[in-house]
């Protein structure tokens, strides 16, 4: 016999507590016998209850029926005493509740709005060549919609971004089964991943030359099946006139674990409500890709883009080759340039109509180029309805499913080590310019 409880509560970040559970087992006396002193058996169970965001649950495994020598049939009366459980279920926690809010960074040239729900970029406002300011990222008007989002608009995804085939891997002789959320695989860290939790605001500086905000999150051991406690930190900062820096770090506290964080903003340089991005030009500084199977799991091969629809070594409009693919682009590019943690150019995107361009650099080894293929009838900001290809993602990252391919760069972070991942978005507003020279 098992006993289990589950209750929804107000999101409470970073709370993992052990509580003693006392089970008093009272076998009743045989009704055919005279009353006498009853046999009493006391069993003490202690285990961990994880209060993680919106789910509160625990279970008591393998309770068995007890029989008294003088009783033909017996049932168990269980009294569960959990100090603080009632308080926690009513939203009172052992840690301070972290409010969910919107935070703006503005340096007088452009502005970025963010929320600590998923450490998400909510909007980026940029002028066009005529001085008209528009929001160039897809998103929603309110936080509640982000909580029900399935597109990962603007969020930090992890603990391991992209896909892990079969939702499993082996590390240091131990096999780990993860919480699958897509066709038996795990995508973007599972459900909920880092995109669907409340992050703490560690630092917020807005009245300075380089405004910035830092979000932190404590991912607990066993979250979505991943091993070890992990402290995660993401800092967004405005540097220079039109530059947005994203700095991601994670520290493993007690176990080796894979880490692969990614920033999942959907960009449309023509404006979030301007239609699709197919006429925008892109140049990708990656001469190889990691091809995938039908479930978008890498095969383990690394192949050249030459002669394929994935060749953007020279600038082309996105629509020029997208028709050669079933749905659109959703592939990891192996970035050119020096290996290691030096910053290198990832891609340049340019919108002819608005004159806006975006150059991305990173120290990650790969980038997922995704053209919003599965966006359909999504009601976004200002009532705008987003459809397929309404935005594009450039998710710098480690290679997908690297934990299952030894020839891919390792994503394992050992206890005490620090994972680092940096991105720099540089925007330009020009009348006309050849994309290749940007």
Catalytic residue numbers? 264, 395
Residue with token string 């709005």 = 113
Q: What is the dihedral of CA 62, 170, 18, 161, to 10 degrees?
A: -120
Alpha-carbon distance of 323 to 268, in angstroms, equals 20
Tokens of 134: 């528009």
Of 22, 31, 45, give the one whose Cα is nearest residue 75. Answer: 31
CB-based contact 194:157 (threshold 8 Å) = yes
- 349-361 burial code (b ≥16 CB/10 A, e <16): bbbbebbbbbbbb
- Write out the two tokens for 19: 């509580």
d(CA 413, CA 399): 15
CA distance 328 to 332: 13
Query: What tokens does 236 get?
Result: 């967004």
Place of tokens 């051991």: 221
The torsion angles phi and psi of 313, rounded to 5 degrees, stand at: -65, -25
Question: Do residues 103 and 119 lie in contact, with contact meaning Cβ atoms separated by under 8 Å?
Answer: no
């Amino acid at each position: 016999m098992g006993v289990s409880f589950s209750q929804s509560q107000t999101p409470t970040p970073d709370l993992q507590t052990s509580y003693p559970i006392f089970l008093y087992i009272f076998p009743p006396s045989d009704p055919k016998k005279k009353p006498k002193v009853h046999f009493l058996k006391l069993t003490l169970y202690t285990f961990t209850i994880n209060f993680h965001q919106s789910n509160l649950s625990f279970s008591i495994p393998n309770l068995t029926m007890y029989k008294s020598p003088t009783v033909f049939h017996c049932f168990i009366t269980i009294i569960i005493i959990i100090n603080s459980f009632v308080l926690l279920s009513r939203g009172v926690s052992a840690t301070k509740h972290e409010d969910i809010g919107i935070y703006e960074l503005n340096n007088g040239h452009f502005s970025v709005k963010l929320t600590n729900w998923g450490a998400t970029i909510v909007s980026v406002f940029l002028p066009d060549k005529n001085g008209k300011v528009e929001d160039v990222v897809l998103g929603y008007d309110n936080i509640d919609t982000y909580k029900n989002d399935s597109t990962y608009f603007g969020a930090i995804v992890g603990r391991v971004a992209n896909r892990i085939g079969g939702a499993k891997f082996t590390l240091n002789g131990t096999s780990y089964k993860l919480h699958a959320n897509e066709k038996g695989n795990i995508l973007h860290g599972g459900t909920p991943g880092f995109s669907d939790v409340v992050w703490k605001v560690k630092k917020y500086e807005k009245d300075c030359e380089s405004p910035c905000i830092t979000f932190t999150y404590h991912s607990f051991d066993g979250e979505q099946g991943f091993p070890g406690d992990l402290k995660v930190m993401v800092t967004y900062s405005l540097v220079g006139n039109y530059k947005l820096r994203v700095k991601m770090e994670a520290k493993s506290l007690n176990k080796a674990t894979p880490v692969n964080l990614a920033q999942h903003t959907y960009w449309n340089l023509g404006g979030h409500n301007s239609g699709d991005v197919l006429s925008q030009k892109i140049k990708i500084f990656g001469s190889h890709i990691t091809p995938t199977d039908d479930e978008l799991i890498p095969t383990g091969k690394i192949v050249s883009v030459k002669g394929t629809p994935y060749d953007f070594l020279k600038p082309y409009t996105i629509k020029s080759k997208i028709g050669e693919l079933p749905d659109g682009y959703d592939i990891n590019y192996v970035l050119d340039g020096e290996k290691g943690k030096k910053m290198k150019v990832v891609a340049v995107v340019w919108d002819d109509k608005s004159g806006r361009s975006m150059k991305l650099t990173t120290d990650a080894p790969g980038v997922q180029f995704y053209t919003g293929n599965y966006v359909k009838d999504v009601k976004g900001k200002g009532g705008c309805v987003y459809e397929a290809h309404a935005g594009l993602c450039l998710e710098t990252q480690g290679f997908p499913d690297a934990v299952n391919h030894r020839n891919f760069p390792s994503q394992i972070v050992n206890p005490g080590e620090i994972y680092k991942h940096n991105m720099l978005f540089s925007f330009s507003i020009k009348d006309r310019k050849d994309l290749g020279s940007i």
